[in-house]
């Protein structure tokens, strides 16, 4: 592989000004768009020696055949130009966004003569006020049903409205009390507009004023013994409280903010966007994105904000945006957002208090969404079939690997070394065939991997269950571990793969296909190869082997923790007078074995049920071990 790209610009040719750059392939297609405060400094990172580049970055620059750049006056201009070019060219190596679903909104058509409240997924209705998004359509309808009891505005279609106004007969929803527009013949256009304004103000966060007003009217009516009116006000208050109960007050009442919780791995990220207006979460939007170039943390936040607010105007941009970490160009982003809002926008990190608590909630939701995103692909039969076919093609296998076994090694600072084996058949986990291995003595991870595989491979040549030693012709029963895997996968890079290949040769089974997955770069290593196999980021095969690797790691860690707990319980059980209940109390009090071992007899004595003599015995016993 050449160590220098043929299209690398000459030294000093790239300017040091802010700007936006584009990588193109031989056909002129834009592969990647990026921005920089200093073009020369940023682009030099892409033209470093290829061996030093992240693998996915190396794949992009070697696919490209040219690079071009455009100088702009300010960093804010580079933000705008980058966003425009990403929208125009849809570069394959930029992050790819996918909304988890098309979310329903509540919209009020303020541009109409008699504005109407409706449920829609169309965000381009002229002069409409939007509220949401809502996670479910029924949630929007429930909110509207409650709100029109308090603010009776129009709900009928435009055709029904025109017909009613022409004929002078109420629209059908108006006849059954479901429409409060002028077409119901109960209010004028001007009166209806005032009710609509109150409706919009309430949904935008002004709920306290309406609650106080209705409460005062209810009390006045009750004092005047107008109990029928008081009951109507009471019912309206109940409807308002029901709506407010659906969106709990999480921040101060004057808080208008958008909060972004993000969870990511090497290839994907999930975003939870909480829309907070008037201190309440008025809507939640979830999306996922897939990463091609090595991008994480602050740079990922940068691109998420550009994508979210690129086409936003006015009320769509809140006065505060809360993110997990500030991008490097936070000041420029804040100015870019200000231009869209028309007023100052604060870009901040939620460090403490209610904002930090809400950020934790959003992050947990993003983590769960990321897990669902990855699991959804693995549970689809078509996706599983495609994954096995892609894996066969990428690794050059003779057949699709219907049975895959994955191995991982786990230890605690070189002690308690254990190995794990997980089995997938036809792309699905076979948990009844998972196995764990205790490793008594080892030199390093590669030796541990060798030992585990030799012990597993020995089962391939073991006699079948029911096979008679004197050959009496008894019907043999095929044991589950006598079936060889079509693919043996190890967690690790080239050293682990070579150790596994040696185990296969020594066991007499070099015909079994072997590969390793290195977690840092998601590279797939084959025995004897100098360079890894790079699976496309959208490949179903990559998702399958990632799941295998993660499952093997989880299973190894679980077994190791159980073993450590069992070991320390066994040690403590040797102390006279210390039963299982007191052992659990000790471990719960100190939290870890290391803390218990370093505790003084006086500190141990503080535990309920532990006297001075027993505390001395525990301390002496642990010190002697």
Least confident range of 409-418, 422-431, 486-495: 409-418
The CATH number of 574-624 is which of 3.30.9.10, 1.20.1530.20, 3.40.50.2300, 1.10.150.20?
1.10.150.20
Domain coordinates in residue numbering, the chain: 19-94, 105-246, 257-373, 381-407+419-462+481-553, 574-624
Q: Confidence band (pLDDT; 50, 70, 90) for 414?
A: low
Q: Confidence band (pLDDT; 50, 70, 90) for 1?
A: very low
Each residue of 5-23: pLDDT tens digit? 888 888 788 888 888 999 9
Q: Confidence band (pLDDT; 50, 70, 90) for 100?
A: very low
Residue 327 pLDDT exceeds 60? yes
Task: Give percent of the chain above pLDDT 70.
Answer: 80
pLDDT of residue 470: 39
- Determine the 3-state secondary structure of 70 from DSSP: strand
Each residue of 469-524: pLDDT tens digit? 434 444 444 456 667 888 998 888 888 888 999 999 988 888 889 988 876 557 78
Higher-confidence residue of 439 and 320: namely 320
Least confident range of 221-235, 350-364, 390-404: 221-235
Strand blocks (E) in 413-479? 415-425, 428-429, 435-438
Give the H or E element holding residue 96.
strand 96-99
- Determine the 3-state secondary structure of 32 from DSSP: strand
Task: Give percent of the chain above pLDDT 90.
Answer: 2
Task: Name the class of domain 19-94.
Answer: alpha beta
**Tokens 């006000």 correspond to what residue?**
233
Of the candidates 462, 506, 516, which has an alpha carbon nearest to the alpha carbon of residue 484? 462
Of the candidates 72, 40, 38, 42, which has an alpha carbon nearest to the alpha carbon of residue 57? 42
Question: What average pLDDT is seen over the chain?
Answer: 78
pLDDT of residue 574: 65
Of the candidates 195, 147, 142, 188, which has an alpha carbon nearest to the alpha carbon of residue 165? 188
pLDDT of residue 519: 64
Of the candidates 594, 592, 600, 593, which has an alpha carbon nearest to the alpha carbon of residue 619? 600
**Cis preceding-peptide flag for 216 (omega within 30 of 0):** no
Higher-confidence residue of 204 and 25: namely 25
- State in Å, rounded, how far the first CA of the chain is from the last one: 55
pLDDT of residue 462: 66
Domain 381-407+419-462+481-553 has CATH 3.40.50.280: no
Q: What is the DSSP string of 496-528?
A: HHHHHHHHHHHTT-TTSEEEEEETTTTEEE-TT
Residue 309 pLDDT exceeds 70? yes
Residue 208 pLDDT exceeds 50? yes
Do 19-94 and 574-624 fold alike per CATH? no
Tokens representing residue 471 in the block: 């050959």
Each residue of 34-45: pLDDT tens digit? 888 888 888 888
Rounded to an integer, what distance in angstroms lies between the CA atom of residue 529 and that of residue 533? 9
- Dihedral angle of Cα 583, 588, 594, 596, to the nearest 10 degrees: -60
Instruction: Give the distance from CA 82 to its chain's centroid.
Output: 25
Tokens representing residue 377 in the block: 């692909």
Tokens representing residue 519 in the block: 């977690």
> Exposed (0-12), middle (13-18) or buried (19+): which is 434, by Cβ within 10 Å?
middle
Mention every residue, 6+ apart, whose C-beta is less than 8 A from residue 346: 319, 320, 321, 334
Q: Confidence band (pLDDT; 50, 70, 90) for 406?
A: very high
Question: How large is the average pLDDT for residues 546-565?
Answer: 76
Give the H or E element holding residue 34.
strand 30-36
Rounded to an integer, what distance in angstroms lies between the CA atom of residue 467 and that of residue 528? 38
Instruction: Give the distance from CA 451 to its chain's centroid.
Output: 37
CB 478 within 8 A of CB 431: no
Of the candidates 315, 329, 325, which has an alpha carbon nearest to the alpha carbon of residue 282? 315
pLDDT of residue 417: 80
Each residue of 241-276: pLDDT tens digit? 655 544 554 666 667 888 998 888 766 788 888 888
CB 150 within 8 A of CB 210: yes
Compute the C-alpha angle 154/155/157, nearest 5°: 105
- Measured in degrees and rounded to the nearest 5, phi and psi for residue 20 equal -125, 140
Each residue of 35-89: pLDDT tens digit? 888 888 888 888 888 777 776 788 788 888 899 888 888 877 788 788 778 877 8
Looking at the structure, give the CATH architecture of the domain made up of residues 257-373: 2-Layer Sandwich (3.30)
Residue 291 pLDDT exceeds 50? yes
For CA atoms 612, 616, 617, 619, the dihedral sign is positive
Residue 111 pLDDT exceeds 80? yes
Each residue of 452-480: pLDDT tens digit? 888 888 888 766 554 444 344 444 444 56
pLDDT of residue 474: 44
- Measured in degrees and rounded to the nearest 5, phi and psi for residue 554 equal -60, -45
Each residue of 220-232: pLDDT tens digit? 777 777 777 777 7
pLDDT of residue 469: 40
Answering whether pTM is above 0.75, one says no
pLDDT of residue 209: 61
Q: Confidence band (pLDDT; 50, 70, 90) for 133?
A: low
Residue 200 pLDDT exceeds 60? yes
Question: How large is the average pLDDT for residues 374-382?
Answer: 66
Strand blocks (E) in 506-605? 513-518, 523-525
Mention every residue, 6+ apart, whose C-beta is less than 8 A from residue 522: 55, 266, 267, 535, 542, 546
């Amino acid at each position: 592989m050449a160590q220098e790209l043929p299209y690398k610009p000459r030294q000093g040719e790239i300017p040091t000004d802010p700007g936006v750059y584009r990588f193109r392939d031989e056909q002129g297609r834009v592969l990647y768009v990026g921005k920089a405060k200093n073009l020369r400094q940023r682009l030099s990172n892409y033209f470093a020696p290829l061996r030093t580049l992240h693998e996915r970055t190396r794949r992009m620059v070697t696919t490209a055949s040219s690079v071009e750049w455009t100088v702009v006056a300010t960093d804010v201009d580079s933000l705008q130009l980058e966003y425009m070019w990403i929208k125009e060219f849809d570069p394959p190596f930029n992050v790819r966004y996918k909304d988890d679903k098309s979310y329903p909104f509540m919209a009020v058509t303020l541009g109409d003569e008699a504005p109407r409240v409706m449920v829609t997924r169309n965000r381009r209705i002229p002069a409409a006020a939007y509220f949401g998004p809502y996670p479910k359509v029924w949630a929007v309808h429930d909110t509207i049903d409650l709100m029109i009891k308090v603010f009776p505005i129009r709900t009928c279609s435009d055709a029904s409205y025109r017909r009613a106004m022409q004929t002078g007969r109420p629209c059908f929803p108006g006849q059954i009390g479901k429409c409060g527009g002028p077409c119901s013949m109960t209010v004028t256009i001007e009166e209806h507009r005032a009710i609509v304004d109150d409706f919009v103000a309430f949904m935008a966060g002004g709920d306290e004023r309406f609650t106080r007003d209705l409460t005062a009217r209810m009390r006045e009516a009750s004092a005047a013994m107008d109990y029928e009116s008081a009951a109507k006000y009471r019912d309206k208050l109940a409807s308002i409280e029901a709506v407010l109960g659906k969106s709990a007050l999480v921040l101060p009442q004057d808080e208008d903010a958008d909060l972004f919780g993000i969870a990511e791995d090497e290839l994907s990220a999930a975003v939870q966007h909480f829309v907070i207006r008037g201190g309440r979460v008025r809507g939640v939007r979830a999306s996922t994105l897939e990463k091609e170039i090595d991008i994480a943390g602050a740079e990922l936040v940068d691109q998420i904000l550009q994508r979210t607010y690129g086409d936003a105007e006015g009320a769509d941009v809140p006065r505060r945006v809360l993110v997990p970490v500030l991008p490097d160009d936070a000041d420029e982003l804040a100015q870019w957002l200000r231009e869209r809002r028309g007023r100052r926008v604060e870009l901040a990190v939620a460090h403490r208090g209610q904002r930090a608590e809400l950020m934790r909630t959003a992050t947990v939701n993003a983590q769960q969404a990321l897990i669902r995103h990855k699991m959804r692909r693995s549970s689809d039969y078509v996706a599983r079939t495609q994954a096995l076919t892609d894996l066969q093609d990428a690794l050059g296998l003779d057949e699709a690997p219907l049975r895959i076994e994955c191995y991982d090694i786990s230890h605690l600072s070189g002690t308690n070394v254990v190995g794990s084996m997980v089995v997938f058949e036809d792309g699905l986990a076979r948990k009844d065939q998972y196995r764990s291995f205790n490793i008594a003595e080892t030199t390093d991870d590669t030796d541990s991997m060798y030992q585990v595989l030799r012990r597993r491979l020995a089962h391939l040549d073991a006699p079948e269950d029911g096979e008679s030693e004197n050959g009496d012709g008894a019907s043999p029963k095929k044991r589950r571990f006598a079936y060889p895997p079509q693919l043996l996968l190890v967690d690790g890079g080239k050293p682990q793969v070579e150790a596994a290949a040696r185990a296969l040769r020594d066991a007499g089974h070099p015909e079994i296909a072997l590969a390793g997955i290195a977690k840092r770069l998601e590279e797939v290593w084959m025995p004897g190869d100098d360079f890894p196999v790079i699976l496309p980021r959208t490949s179903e095969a990559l998702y399958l082997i990632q799941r295998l690797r993660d499952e093997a790691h989880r299973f190894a860690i679980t077994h190791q923790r159980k073993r450590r707990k069992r070991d320390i319980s066994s040690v403590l059980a040797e102390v006279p007078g210390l039963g299982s209940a007191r052992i659990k109390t000790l471990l719960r009090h100190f939290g870890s074995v290391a803390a218990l071992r370093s505790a003084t007899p006086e500190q141990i004595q503080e535990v309920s049920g532990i006297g001075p003599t027993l505390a001395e015995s525990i301390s002496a016993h642990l010190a002697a071990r």
